[in-house]
A and B are shown apart, each in its own frame.
Chain A
Amino acid sequence: GAGVSQSPRYKVAKRGQDVALRCDPISGHVSLFWYQQALGQGPEFLTYFQNEAQLDKSGLPSDRFFAERPEGSVSTLKIQRTQQEDSAVYLCASSTGLAWGNEQFFGPGTRLTVL
């Protein structure tokens, strides 16, 4: 069965470049989350969608970070004018969003390296 997929798996960008990271959630999953995981650290919440509505973007570190989910399925995380401190693994997760304890299913992540 298809899980959460993310592309690209690896991305190398020069400082100042814009990048776009894609997440394909499990079909039918209402909720979608983006996390940033620095090396040796736990995932840090960035933003949360319920269908196409972005309900919480409090974790986005700056206005260079932007996420969208226009049709309530695929989501894109865009980082403008990348900086070295943006280097991390970006994880996407989805869940059914229907009841207590919804399991979040994570994708394998996109490893972003900013040179």
Chain B
Amino acid sequence: QQQVKQSPQSLIVQKGGISIINCAYENTAFDYFPWYQQFPGKGPALLIAIRPDVSEKKEGRFTISFNKSAKQFSLHIMDSQPGDSATYFCAASKDSTGGFKTIFGAGTRLFVKA
């Protein structure tokens, strides 16, 4: 019930293309769904996050689509750039007082070809 399943494991996209990463969760108590970006040798950094009462959130080239009934959410990276090459993690948590116990997906390694 605590799992967050992420796919694909790896993704290769041409520069300018759209990168799509999918996640599914089971615990309906989750109420905060962030996406993190991690470069080698660095800690994860928050990219964008959504709450379950919203179906879509867009920030620049990054969009989260959220389907509450299906318990699925996805990250779309428009106009993908080589600098977007990194590992992306979806996550879920029940936010009470500070992002309590965030559960991460296994990650997607994105490579954007120049």
Contacts and interface: CB of A to CB of B under 8 A. Distances in A.
Interface in A23-70: 30-31, 33, 35, 40-45, 48, 50, 55-56, 58-59
B98 A43 contact: no
Chain A interface, >50% SS class:
loop
Interface residues of A, number: 32
Nearest to A109: B43
A43 B45 CA distance: 12
B79 interface: no
Contact of A101 (B45, B95, B103, B106): B95
Contacts of A33: 99, 102
9 contacts: A42-B105, A42-B106, A45-B101, A50-B97, A91-B44, A97-B98, A100-B51, A104-B99, A109-B43
Interface of A: 4, 30-31, 33, 35, 40-45, 48, 50, 55-56, 58-59, 91, 93, 95-98, 100-104, 106-109
